[in-house]
Structure 1
Amino acid sequence: MSVSLSPWATDVFGEQAPAVRMFLGQALRNMQANAQAAHEQTNSRTNHTYGTSRWQNQFERVQDELKELPGATPVKPFGFPFELMLVGRGLIYPFLYSKTKADVRKARIPSESQLVKELFTFAPEPKHVQDTFDFGFGGTALAVEPRGGLAALPQGTRLILVPFACNASELLEAHWGIAALGESRRLEWATVPEPLALPQTVTSYGTRLASVPEQTAASERKHTSFAEGSEPTLTLSSRATSDRARDVPPQTEAQPVEDQTSEDDATH
């Protein structure tokens, strides 16, 4: 039996809305299957492998399922290892909101990372304006500017959240909708979060390790000491005369690039 689409879904995705809804459910089913397969392959006593694989798969399997839709475009946020999918006017962001069945209307975003702040510039304004970005400069809040692929998104793009609940044993439920980012990372739903159908059939397992690659015979292996290894190539640059005159210390390492992957969503 077909389920009617809400007006917001048709407004955001157009005629692709039914396909987007169906493929999102399939992507999450594939995500769970791949993560469980990785966990089984390692025979680990912890859920670390499952958690890492699930985090990766929640983005990559969504891309696999949606990439063939007309007009679907991958978007690479600055400093983030995965691409998010833009279909119509909808930028899709899947995330784990619970490891057990829980009321999605009370869900929180896993972390208020820089990525999350940039994504929610495409979401409705919260009812109560947060002072999260107020750094004490005269009480003036600093605006967040999208970077990377997010900076090139067309006007009118809407952030579509896909919160799901799962654990190493099972995929429990999933929803989609539009929400603002409220205080304490709580979501203020602008639409009713609607359940996504989760099919039982898996359409992609990924590649499992079927055999151990052939190893070099012991007699053919040559053990070398540290001194026998190849010398590394070093790139040196001289300091400016003005820096040497002012005793400016030499720079030995490049400044670190801000990382957007430290989300609690990747915990296990």
Structure 2
Amino acid sequence: MSVAVPPWATEVFGEQALPARVRLGQALRNMQANAQAAQEQTASRTNHTYGSSRWQGQFERVQEELRDLPGARPVKPYNFPFELMLINKGLLYPFLHARTKADVRTARIPNESQLIKELFIFAPEPTHVQGSFDFGDEGVSSETVSPRGGLAAVPPDTRLILVPFACNASELLEAHWGIAALGEERRLEWKTVPEPLTLPESVKTSRPTITSVPQQPTSPAAEHTSFDQGTAPRLTLSSRANVDRQRDVPPLTEAEPVEDQTSEDDATH
């Protein structure tokens, strides 16, 4: 089945538009499966494990799926724990916009971080440009925001491609991608029609999964592992000197412990 690619995607991603679209859907499916598996393993009564794994996976699974595309490279924003994927002129930013099915055209960016300010440097200007961003920082204009870290090396003609998705601990509901400006109260002003991504049913992973502990091979050297079954150590005995016995010098049974001159703090210096 052929999948239509919108003109904006071809302009931004070039020949990688279709592979990027397909692999994005696969990455989000993998993200959901990994997060659900983590939640199941913990058997927790809360969804904290799912949420943490999902947040991590929305960046790491995307990188796994897209990193070998021609023209793709990871970009590490300043003070951000994960890398974003840049493919030709498109910088991808996946984020959760709802936990139930919701109209993506009314989606809002979920937080007001410095990262969001720097990412939207590569987005179109909103229809109504205020004197300052409404990020709670009075007097900070959009012109004063500069990209840092890996974003500082991103070409100025890069376009921010948003990938909003909706999911919860039970299911992955939907996902879209497109270009939008950041309007008032963090609402998105879509400059392209947010296109639905195809979410495959099957999970794909290249990472090995341990389902059971494999039986360890035995060898004659490893047969006796108990502390009382090994070969007895050879002890070297020596008699005390006559002068020590005449002076009642106590026998030395073991060396005095040597104080460790290092500590865990040394590893940080």
Query: Which bracket does the TM-score occupy, shorter chain normalised?
Result: 0.7 to 0.9
Change (3 A) 1:196 1:232: same
C-alpha contact (below 8 Å) 2:38/2:50 kept by paired residues: yes
Structure 1: runs of 5+ lacking an equivalent = 221-227, 236-268
Identify the residue that residue 28 of structure 2 maps to in structure 1: 28
- Deviation beyond 2 Å, 4+ runs, structure 1: 130-137, 139-142, 205-213, 217-220, 228-235
Q: Deviations over 1:47-84 (max 9, x none)?
A: 00000000000101110111111110100000001000
Change (3 A) 1:51 1:134: closer
Structure 2: runs of 5+ lacking an equivalent = 215-224, 229-257
Identify the residue that residue 252 of structure 2 maps to in structure 1: none
SS at match of 1:18: helix
Residue 232 of structure 1, CA deviation: 2.9
Distance 2:138 2:95 in 1: 32
Aligned pairs (5 A) from 1:213-232:
232=263
The question of 1:199 aligning with 2:200 is answered yes
Aligned pairs (5 A) from 1:232-251:
232=263
Tell me the percent identity.
68
Residue 112 of structure 1, CA deviation: 1.2
Distance 1:105 1:212 in 2: 48
C-alpha contact (below 8 Å) 2:36/2:169 kept by paired residues: yes
Task: State the AA in 1 paired with 2:195.
Answer: E
Q: Deviations over 1:116-171 (max 9, x none)?
A: 1100000000111233368556x966621000000000120000000000000000
Tell me the TM-score normalized by structure 1: 0.77
Q: Deviations over 1:64-117 (max 9, x none)?
A: 111111110100000001000000100000000000000000000110100011
Higher relative contact order (CA 8 A, sep 6+): 1
When Rg is computed on C-alpha atoms for both structures, the one with the higher figure is: 2
Task: State the AA in 2 paired with 1:60.
Answer: E
Tell me the TM-score normalized by structure 2: 0.77
The question of 1:123 aligning with 2:116 is answered no
SS at match of 2:144: coil
Identify the residue that residue 168 of structure 1 maps to in structure 2: 169
C-alpha contact (below 8 Å) 1:92/1:159 kept by paired residues: yes
Identify the residue that residue 18 of structure 2 maps to in structure 1: 18
Change (3 A) 1:28 1:229: farther
Identify the residue that residue 159 of structure 1 maps to in structure 2: 160
Residue 206 of structure 1, CA deviation: 4.9
Task: State the AA in 2 paired with 1:64.
Answer: E
Change (3 A) 1:99 1:234: closer
Distance 1:111 1:99 in 2: 15
The question of 1:48 aligning with 2:48 is answered yes
Identify the residue that residue 71 of structure 2 maps to in structure 1: 71
Identify the residue that residue 5 of structure 1 maps to in structure 2: 5
